[in-house]
């Protein structure tokens, strides 16, 4: 007998109420079609004011007395409530007997525990606290507003408990801790205000510089999207869909699963490009031998920051190398590496627990201020993919590359671990690699990115930094002491100048030492050095350094000096005659001009000050380079700017090339070497002040006690010297972050002996302690000359910038951006409510929902060779326009963000903290099923034999509703294929009647975009109109599959403990056997439920009938058929034929079998968002769909 439409029933569960025991088994109560409050009660004023979640469990059942199959069963929400503040969502737990508590737990499982958060709970927290404090390393990722974390106490023990928490506000303060050597370490104390107070006490950690956690402390973990529930719902079509279309536009691909309250939070004066404290290599690798015990109980301090990927530790033939923060031997993890502090620790003992000599090799690193380079790969229909590859010519510094992408409305981030591997907090987010040598990047995303979004690539490059090598050091790489003619240790000009050839330096370190002047400006003998005759300054570098406090004497002849003011440099006169050779001095401005074809330079000119001297034979020198001549007898001069002066300009401007989405940055060194960059020097002034002498000399001697020596590299104007490390003799010196210079660093404790300082802006290194008789030549010099991050000289510019706002969504019209172009022009532009950014010098767009901003900087009057087509921004009148450079460090933005406050869990009945902050979940996903449907209505007063033509064919359903609102199920027939409804008996009809006729298309979703665009694997076969109010909808389908009752498992067992339900034999089989081939257990669609059964023998012939969920429901005998009645349907759950029983059954034996019912459990969720009442009618349509065998 075929299944009829009336055989498909929607059945209520045991408890149809919002209580913890809600749900349960199916009952005899059939949900009547069209009856008000058959599933949910009316909506109260309290529900409207505070929001509410109602949950009801229903069953779609086939009620026939056979086992015919209801094929391809699925259920949809065909039409939503008309009230936009009310939504209906379906999901299933596939459990016939579960209750609301279990279902709510499934709903709450959208987020699950993730990796340990990069911070720890600071001190103990108690029940009722509304905020927590975390201790984190400075400049690490902060929790964002709306982020969910989980606190886990006593993890992986029997006493474990946890709480998911959501942040509503985040504040940061700096706190200083000190390591074992007394070194200050700045950490962040992060205060997170919570949406719900703590429900338990949690043990925290005492504050410490290394963030070391005590064993009893709770763990703070991030969360990852588990998305354990699959939700289905319905959305109106946003535009009409036509026959043959593969794509429809829905108003949304999300449904509101829990209500949330929206508040506004201002975002003010925020950088668009981040400021990084990334490690940058200061030069080549250095090696040192450390003799110590290095084991799991003893850390190793190498003396300074380590550049990731450069470390090796060798001892006794065993080599450990670093990889992504881990220390590995032959690929196996043996410890960890703290790159920033240069600390190695072991988790195993590859060298045992005794001491030994370790050869430690690594590239030293420093931490300059760098501005991030942010670019975007636009995701279009054509470019959308799971895999992307590209090359970054400005190769990122290790551990700084991050790639963000938007999928299904959620941002996912992949970060570089320092070993060239990109990964997210979950492996499901994707994976990638970065080659630090070539800049090649390859990524595989965890999901297809959303069309219309962008893949945001953020990195920090060392291209703007300059490595200060030994060759850049003054005095040919020796430490020196400056002594001027006034007897001061200073490079400042003395009151009088030296007469060339008269300088002699003496001291005694146990042996009389002498260095003399040959008249060429150089010292020779027991010291090397230079003499600036005109300024009266000697830079002395003894061949071996005498002990601190040694008296050094400088004997010389002096000249009185005079100053000629406003001398014409190109051809003027000092206004004096008989000038003393070697006495000329002055500070002359020199302007460098830079150019390179095909590149935009960060700046095109730079003016510096050069030291003017003469060589004693008539040549003028600027910083030692030939720059003209002087006639001593007459005082006439003629100056030019020498081209070789460029040797002292160690870093010109960087340059950019740009394409559609990429921007390559190059250092000046690269531009010169590979692209023919040109640098020329010109005099930066017409006139200058020049000092000279033309009087007779007088003998003089000055003596000073020398307790300090100095070192200084050539510096770039406005840059800062960082990460200084060098060796004098066998002693290693290292700069600390506060500028202190230390030596003799203890590999066990990490401390060193303070012995000087580094003045970063001037580049002067002061050395106050050294072993006696140490050579003055510096070896293994490593340092970085770092650029400024603010001001016009900051070398960070770009044609474009793409970034994510600190929070989202944003209030439309609230976003504004301001900054300064490279040419000094300022801008302050506000985006319109549609997200268009249209200023004279900046164009772009913002996605207010997801906080994605794209900005392109332009100059309408610029060079057409830099034209870029920006028509894709769809700004009226904008097409092709010249690009221009912006100062990245200057860009700030302001906006107003919406934040969502989850409501009281005790009122909702669901804890919303583990759900997305806005309470929305996706209802369409690739591979799922969707139904596009439209319901038309015809109102007519009908009579017998009247035929109503619905004016369309291939209907999926016809429904007749009387004028009184009641559903009419009899008195008519419907020809769905022809679209005709014939009335045969209208007796008792409430006229006029309304004929609802529905058309549908079901298809597999190929992809669903957050824009609402849903693409199917097959074409639509109907037209679906756009009406107001909506009558065309797209629904996702909750698929139950084929529904039919059956017996799925059957076996016998000798004993059973009465509580453990297994689907396989436990122990030994019973002697007796049930012959289910000769006499199979009989079930029907109407009677069977999905349940585990045990027939437990109480003697050799009698047994109890026990269900896992229903308990003992009957007794039976092997001598008679057993057919216990299902009270919900008044027919047997099953029938066990007596014919199947054999001999050999004894007390305690069981016959175990499972039945599968022809029904599917469905949880229906009604979500009421806060808002005004829009009426009393909140009906929605649930539609059970499937096919039957028509034979």
Instruction: Report pLDDT digits (tens) over 855-867.
Output: 999 999 988 888 8
Evaluate if residue 1063 carries a pLDDT over 80: yes
Question: Under a CB-based contact definition with an 8 Å cutoff, are residues 1095 and 1104 in contact?
Answer: yes
Question: Under a CB-based contact definition with an 8 Å cutoff, are residues 738 and 488 in contact?
Answer: no
Evaluate if residue 664 carries a pLDDT over 70: no
In a domain, 730, yes or no: yes
DSSP 850: T
pLDDT at 321: 96
In a domain, 917, yes or no: no
Evaluate if residue 263 carries a pLDDT over 80: no
Record the tokens describing residue 143, joined without a space: 């929790």
CA distance linking residue 96 with residue 59, whole number of Å: 8
pLDDT digits (tens, 9 = 90+) for 471-491: 789 899 999 999 999 999 999
- Of 243, 365, 350, 388, which Cα lies nearest the Cα of 305? 365
CA distance linking residue 398 with residue 729, whole number of Å: 32
pLDDT at 661: 44
In a domain, 266, yes or no: yes
Q: CA 457 → CA 382, 420, 421, 630, 837, distances in Å?
A: 20, 15, 15, 58, 21
Same structural domain, 581 and 501: no
State how far Cα 871 lies from the chain centre: 30
Q: Which residues of 693-711 are buried (b: 16+ CB within 10 A; e: fewer)?
A: bbeebeebebebebebbbb
Phi/psi at 677 (nearest 5 deg)? -60, 145
Beta strands per DSSP E along 80-206: 86-91, 111-116, 119-121, 131-137, 148-153, 161-178, 184-194
Same structural domain, 411 and 483: no
pLDDT digits (tens, 9 = 90+) for 1078-1134: 999 999 999 999 999 999 999 999 999 999 999 999 999 999 999 999 999 999 999
CA distance linking residue 620 with residue 616, whole number of Å: 9
Mean pLDDT of 923-951: 95
In a domain, 156, yes or no: yes
CA distance linking residue 1141 with residue 1120, whole number of Å: 10
DSSP 196: S
CA angle (87, 91, 92) in 5-degree steps = 155
Token pair 């010249």 is at which residue? 882
Record the tokens describing residue 22, joined without a space: 């809600």
For the entire predicted model, the pTM comes to 0.73
Phi/psi at 19 (nearest 5 deg)? -130, 165
Evaluate if residue 1065 carries a pLDDT over 70: yes
Query: Residue 470 contacts by C-beta under 8 Å, 6 or more apart in sequence?
Result: 477, 778, 779, 781
Q: Which residues of 1052-1075 are buried (b: 16+ CB within 10 A; e: fewer)?
A: bbbebeeeebeeeeeeeebebbbe
Question: Under a CB-based contact definition with an 8 Å cutoff, are residues 671 and 677 in contact?
Answer: yes
Long-range interactions of 1143-1146: CB distance < 8 A, separation 24+: 1143/1072, 1144/1070, 1144/1071, 1144/1072, 1144/1073, 1145/1070, 1145/1071, 1145/1072, 1145/1097, 1145/1100, 1145/1101, 1145/1118, 1146/1070, 1146/1071, 1146/1072, 1146/1097, 1146/1100
Same structural domain, 782 and 797: no
Q: Please give the mean pLDDT across all residues of the chain.
A: 90
- Of 1089, 1091, 1139, which Cα lies nearest the Cα of 1117? 1139
Mean pLDDT of 17-36: 91
Same structural domain, 384 and 302: no
Residues linked to residue 1041 through DSSP beta bridges, in sequence order: 73
pLDDT digits (tens, 9 = 90+) for 882-913: 988 888 888 999 999 887 766 777 777 787 88
Q: CA 637 → CA 561, 690, 1093, distances in Å?
A: 17, 11, 113
Residue 395: how many CB atoms within 10 A of its CB?
21
In a domain, 323, yes or no: yes
Evaluate if residue 715 carries a pLDDT over 90: no
Question: Under a CB-based contact definition with an 8 Å cutoff, are residues 267 and 805 in contact?
Answer: yes
Task: Describe the chain by its helix, strand, coil percentages, rounded to 5.
Answer: 5, 50, 45
Q: Which of 436, 459, 482 is the last residue of a domain?
A: 459
In a domain, 643, yes or no: yes
Q: Which of 638, 667, 692 is the last residue of a domain?
A: 692
Same structural domain, 688 and 714: no
Query: How many structural domains does the chain have?
Result: 7
In a domain, 464, yes or no: no
Same structural domain, 643 and 711: no
State how far Cα 290 lies from the chain centre: 39
Number of H helices, E strands in the chain: 4, 98
Least confident of 398-412, 655-669, 1058-1072: 655-669
Residue 1148: how many CB atoms within 10 A of its CB?
15
pLDDT band at 658 (very low <50, low <70, confident <90, very high): low
pLDDT at 682: 86
Mean pLDDT of 769-793: 86
Q: Which of 847, 882, 902 is the last residue of a domain?
A: 902
Same structural domain, 654 and 752: no
pLDDT band at 317 (very low <50, low <70, confident <90, very high): very high
Query: Residue 979 contacts by C-beta under 8 Å, 6 or more apart in sequence?
Result: 949, 950, 951, 952, 953, 954, 955, 997
pLDDT at 662: 47
- Of 444, 663, 686, 387, which Cα lies nearest the Cα of 566? 686
pLDDT digits (tens, 9 = 90+) for 152-165: 999 999 999 999 99
DSSP 291: E
pLDDT band at 1022 (very low <50, low <70, confident <90, very high): very high
Strands 280-281 and 740-743, how do they pair? unpaired
Same structural domain, 355 and 504: no
Same structural domain, 793 and 782: no
Q: CA 635 → CA 343, 618, 629, distances in Å?
A: 63, 11, 10
Beta strands per DSSP E along 471-578: 481-484, 496-498, 504-508, 512-517, 522-525, 527-532, 537-542, 544-545, 550-560, 562-568, 572-573
Least confident of 271-275, 276-280, 325-329, 814-818: 271-275
Evaluate if residue 403 carries a pLDDT over 50: yes
Query: Residue 721 contacts by C-beta under 8 Å, 6 or more apart in sequence?
Result: 468, 713, 715, 758, 759, 760, 761, 762, 763, 765, 783, 784, 785, 786
State how far Cα 258 lies from the chain centre: 26
Least confident of 139-148, 629-638, 806-815: 139-148
DSSP 214: P
Q: CA 82 → CA 933, 1169, 1177, distances in Å?
A: 16, 13, 8
By residue range, what is the domain housing residue 743?
470-560+697-786
Tell me if residue 914 falls in helix, strand or coil: helix
Same structural domain, 643 and 745: no
In a domain, 79, yes or no: no
pLDDT above 70 coverage of the chain, percent: 96
Tell me if residue 13 falls in helix, strand or coil: strand
Query: Residue 5 contacts by C-beta under 8 Å, 6 or more apart in sequence?
Result: none
pLDDT at 660: 42
Tell me if residue 818 falls in helix, strand or coil: strand
Same structural domain, 1129 and 1061: yes
Residues linked to residue 909 through DSSP beta bridges, in sequence order: none
Question: Under a CB-based contact definition with an 8 Å cutoff, are residues 81 and 1180 in contact?
Answer: yes
Same structural domain, 672 and 750: no
Write out the DSSP string of 1065-1113. --S---SS-B-TTTSPPB--TTT--SEEEEEEESSSSEEEEEETTTEEE
Evaluate if residue 982 carries a pLDDT over 70: yes
pLDDT at 227: 65
- Of 150, 129, 127, which Cα lies nearest the Cα of 200? 127
- Of 325, 432, 426, 419, which Cα lies nearest the Cα of 387? 432
Token pair 């406003």 is at which residue? 566
């Amino acid at each position: 007998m075929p299944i009829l439409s009336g055989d498909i029933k929607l059945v209520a569960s045991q408890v149809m109420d919002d209580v913890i025991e809600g749900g349960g088994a199916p009952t005899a109560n059939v949900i009547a079609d069209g009856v008000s409050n058959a599933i949910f009660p009316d909506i109260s004023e309290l529900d409207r004011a505070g929001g509410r979640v109602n949950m009801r469990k229903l069953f779609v059942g086939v009620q026939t007395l056979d086992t015919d199959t209801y094929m391809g069963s699925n259920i949809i929400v065909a039409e939503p409530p008309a009230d936009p503040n009310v939504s209906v969502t379906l999901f299933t737990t596939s459990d016939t007997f579960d209750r609301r508590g279990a279902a709510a737990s499934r709903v709450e499982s959208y987020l699950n525990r993730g990796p340990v958060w990069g911070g720890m709970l600071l001190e103990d927290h108690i029940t009722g606290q509304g905020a927590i404090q975390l201790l984190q390393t400075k400049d690490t990722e902060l929790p964002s507003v709306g982020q969910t974390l989980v606190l886990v106490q006593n993890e992986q023990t029997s006493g474990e408990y946890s709480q998911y928490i959501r942040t509503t506000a985040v504040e940061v303060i700096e706190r200083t801790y000190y390591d074992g050597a007394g070194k200050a370490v700045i950490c962040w104390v992060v205060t997170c205000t919570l949406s719900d107070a703590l429900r338990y006490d949690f043990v925290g950690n005492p504050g410490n510089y290394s963030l070391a956690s005590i064993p009893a402390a709770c763990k703070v973990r991030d969360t990852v999207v588990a998305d354990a529930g699959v939700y289905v719902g319905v959305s109106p079509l946003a535009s009409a869909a036509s026959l043959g279309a593969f794509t429809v536009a829905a108003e949304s691909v999300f449904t509101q699963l829990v209500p949330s309250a929206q508040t506004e939070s201002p975002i003010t004066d925020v950088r668009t490009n981040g400021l990084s404290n990334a490690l940058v290599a200061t030069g080549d690798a250095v090696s040192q031998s450390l003799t110590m015990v290095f084991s799991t109980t003893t850390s190793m301090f190498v003396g300074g920051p380590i550049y990731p990927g450069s470390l090796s530790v060798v001892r006794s033939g065993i080599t450990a190398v670093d990889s992504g923060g881990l220390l590995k031997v032959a690929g196996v993890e043996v410890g960890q590496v703290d790159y920033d502090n240069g600390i190695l620790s072991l988790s195993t003992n590859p060298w045992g627990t005794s001491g030994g000599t370790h050869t430690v090799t690594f590239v030293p690193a420093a931490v300059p201020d760098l501005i991030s380079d942010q670019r975007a790969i636009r995701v279009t229909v054509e470019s959308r993919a799971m895999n992307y590859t590209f090359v970054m010519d400005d190769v990122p510094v290790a551990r700084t590359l991050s790639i963000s992408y938007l999928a299904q409305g959620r941002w996912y981030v992949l970060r570089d671990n320092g070993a060239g591997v990109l990964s997210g907090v979950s492996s499901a987010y994707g994976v990638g690699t970065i080659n630090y040598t070539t800049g090649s990047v390859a990524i595989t995303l965890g999901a297809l990115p959303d069309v219309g979004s962008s893949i945001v690539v953020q990195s920090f490059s060392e291209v703007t930094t300059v490595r200060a090598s030994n060759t850049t050091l003054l005095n040919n790489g020796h430490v020196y002491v400056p002594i001027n003619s006034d007897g001061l240790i200073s490079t400042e000009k003395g009151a009088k100048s030296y007469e060339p050839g008269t300088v002699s330096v003496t001291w005694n370190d146990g042996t009389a030492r002498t260095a003399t002047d040959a008249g060429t400006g150089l010292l020779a003998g027991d010291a090397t050095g230079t003499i600036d005759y005109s300024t009266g300054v000697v830079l002395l570098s003894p061949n071996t350094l005498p002990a601190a406090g040694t008296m050094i004497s400088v004997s010389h002849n002096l000249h009185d000096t005079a100053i000629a003011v406003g001398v014409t440099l190109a051809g003027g006169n000092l206004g004096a005659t008989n000038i003393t050779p070697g006495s000329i001095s002055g500070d002359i401005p020199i302007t460098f001009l830079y150019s390179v074809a095909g590149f935009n330079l960060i700046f095109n000119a730079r003016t510096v000050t050069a030291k003017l001297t003469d060589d004693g034979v008539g040549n003028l020198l600027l910083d030692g380079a030939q720059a003209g001549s002087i006639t001593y007898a007459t005082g006439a001069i003629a100056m030019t700017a020498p081209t070789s002066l460029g040797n002292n300009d160690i870093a010109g401007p960087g340059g950019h090339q740009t394409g559609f989405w990429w921007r390559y940055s190059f250092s000046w060194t690269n531009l010169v070497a590979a692209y023919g960059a040109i640098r020329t020097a010109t005099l930066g002034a017409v006139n200058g002040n020049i000092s000279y002498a033309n009087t007779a000399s007088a003998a003089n001697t000055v003596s000073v006690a020398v307790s300090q020596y100095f070192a200084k590299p050539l510096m770039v104007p406005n840059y800062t010297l960082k990460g200084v490390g060098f060796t004098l003799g066998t002693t290693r010196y290292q700069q600390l972050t506060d500028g202190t210079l230390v030596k003799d660093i203890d590999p066990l404790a990490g401390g060193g002996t303070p012995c000087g300082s580094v003045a970063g802006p001037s580049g002067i290194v002061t050395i106050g302690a050294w072993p006696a008789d140490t050579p003055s030549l510096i070896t293994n010099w490593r340092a970085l000359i770092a650029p400024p991050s603010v001001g016009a000289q900051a070398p960070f510019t770009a044609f474009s910038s793409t970034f994510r706002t600190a929070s989202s969504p944003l209030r439309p019209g609230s976003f504004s951006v301001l900054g300064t172009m490279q040419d000094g022009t300022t801008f302050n532009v506000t985006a319109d409510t549609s997200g268009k950014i249209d200023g004279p010098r900046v164009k772009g767009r913002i996605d207010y929902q997801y906080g994605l901003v794209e900005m392109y900087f332009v100059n309408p009057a610029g060079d057409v060779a830099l034209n870029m087509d920006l028509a894709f921004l769809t700004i009226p009148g904008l097409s092709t326009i010249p690009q221009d450079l912006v100062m990245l460090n200057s860009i700030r933005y302001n906006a107003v963000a919406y934040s969502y406050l989850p409501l009281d869990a005790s009122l909702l009945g669901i804890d919303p903290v583990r759900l997305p902050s806005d309470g929305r979940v996706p209802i369409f996903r690739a591979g799922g099923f969707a139904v596009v449907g439209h319901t038309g209505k015809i109102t007519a007063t009908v009579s017998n034999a009247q035929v109503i033509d619905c004016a369309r064919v291939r209907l999926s359903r016809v429904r007749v509703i009387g004028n009184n609102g009641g559903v009419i199920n009899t008195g008519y027939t419907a020809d769905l294929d022809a679209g005709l409804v014939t009335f045969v008996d209208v007796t008792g009809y409430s006229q006029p009647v309304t004929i609802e006729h529905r058309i549908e298309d079901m298809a597999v979703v190929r992809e669903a975009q957050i824009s609402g665009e849903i693409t199917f694997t097959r074409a639509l076969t109907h037209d679906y109109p756009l009406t107001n109010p909506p009558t065309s909808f797209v629904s996702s389908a909750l698929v139950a599959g084929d529904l039919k009752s059956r017996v799925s498992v059957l076996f016998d067992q000798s004993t059973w403990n009465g509580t453990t339900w297994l689907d396989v034999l436990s122990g030994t089989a019973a002697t007796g056997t049930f012959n289910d081939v000769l006499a199979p257990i009989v079930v029907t669609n109407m009677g069977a439920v999905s349940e585990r059964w045990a027939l437990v023998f109480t003697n050799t012939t009698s047994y109890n009938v026990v269900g896992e969920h229903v308990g003992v429901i009957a007794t039976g005998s092997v001598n008679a058929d057993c057919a216990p009645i299902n009270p919900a349907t008044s027919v047997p759950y099953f029938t066990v034929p007596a014919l199947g029983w054999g001999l050999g059954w004894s007390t305690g034996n069981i016959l175990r079998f499972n039945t599968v019912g022809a029904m599917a459990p469905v949880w229906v969720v009604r979500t009421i968002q806060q808002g005004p009442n829009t009426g009393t009618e909140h009906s929605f349509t649930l539609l059970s769909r499937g096919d039957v065998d028509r034979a």
